[in-house]
Chains A and B, each alone.
Chain A
Amino acid sequence: MGKVIVVTSGKGGVGKTTSSAALGAALARNGEKVVVVDFDVGLRNLDLIMGAERRVVYDLINVIQGEAKLAQALIRDKRLETLYLLPASQTRDKDNLTAEGVETVIAALKQSFDWVICDSPAGIERGATLAMRHADVAIVVTNPEVSSVRDSDRIIGLLDSKTLMAEQGERMEKHLLLTRYDPARAERGDMLKVDDVLEILSIPLLGIVPESMDVLRASNVGSPVTLSDERSAPAIAYFDAARRLRGELLPVTIPGEKRGFFGKLFGRKAA
Chain B
Amino acid sequence: MTSLLTQPRPIRLKGRSFLALALTPEHPFEDWLAQLDHLASRSTNFFRRRPLVLDVTGLEIDRSQLRELLDKLGERNVRIMGIEGARPSLLGPDMPPPMADGRPASDIEAPAEDERVEAKTPEKAAPPSPPPPKTSPSMLVTEPVRSGQALFFPEGDVTVVGSVASGAEIIAGGSVHIYGTLRGRVMAGTMGNGSARIFCSKLEAELVAIDGYYKTAEDLERDLRGKAVQFWLEGDTFKVGSLA
Contact = CB atoms under 8 A, between A and B. Distances in A.
Interface in A154-197: 154, 156-158, 160
A157 B165 CA distance: 10
A153 B167 contact: yes
Contacts of A157: 146-149, 168
Contacts of B148: 124, 153-154, 157-158
Contacts of B168: 153, 157
Nearest to A152: B147
A202 interface: yes
Contact of A150 (B149, B162, B167, B181): B167
A43 interface: no
Interface string B145-172: 0111100000000000011011110000
B143 interface: yes
B144 interface: yes
A151 B147 CA distance: 8
A156 B146 contact: yes
A150 B144 CA distance: 13
A154 B146 CA distance: 6
A153 B165 contact: yes
Interface string A138-151: 00000000000011
A264 B162 CA distance: 19
A200 interface: yes
Contacts of A200: 163, 165, 181, 183
Contacts of B167: 150, 153-154
Contacts of B181: 199-200
Contacts of A150: 147, 165-167
Q: Chain B interface residue count: which class?
A: 10 to 19
Contacts of A271: 143-144, 162
Nearest to B145: A157
Contacts of B143: 160, 271
B147 to A, nearest CB: 4
A44 B226 CA distance: 43
Interface in A115-133: 124
Nearest to B165: A153
Contacts of A124: 148
Contacts of A158: 148
Contacts of B162: 202, 271
Nearest to B167: A150
A156 B144 CA distance: 10
Contacts of A153: 146-148, 165-168
Nearest to B149: A157
Contacts of B144: 202, 271
Interface of B: 143-144, 146-149, 162-163, 165-168, 181, 183
8 contacts: A124-B148, A153-B148, A153-B167, A154-B148, A157-B168, A199-B163, A200-B181, A271-B162
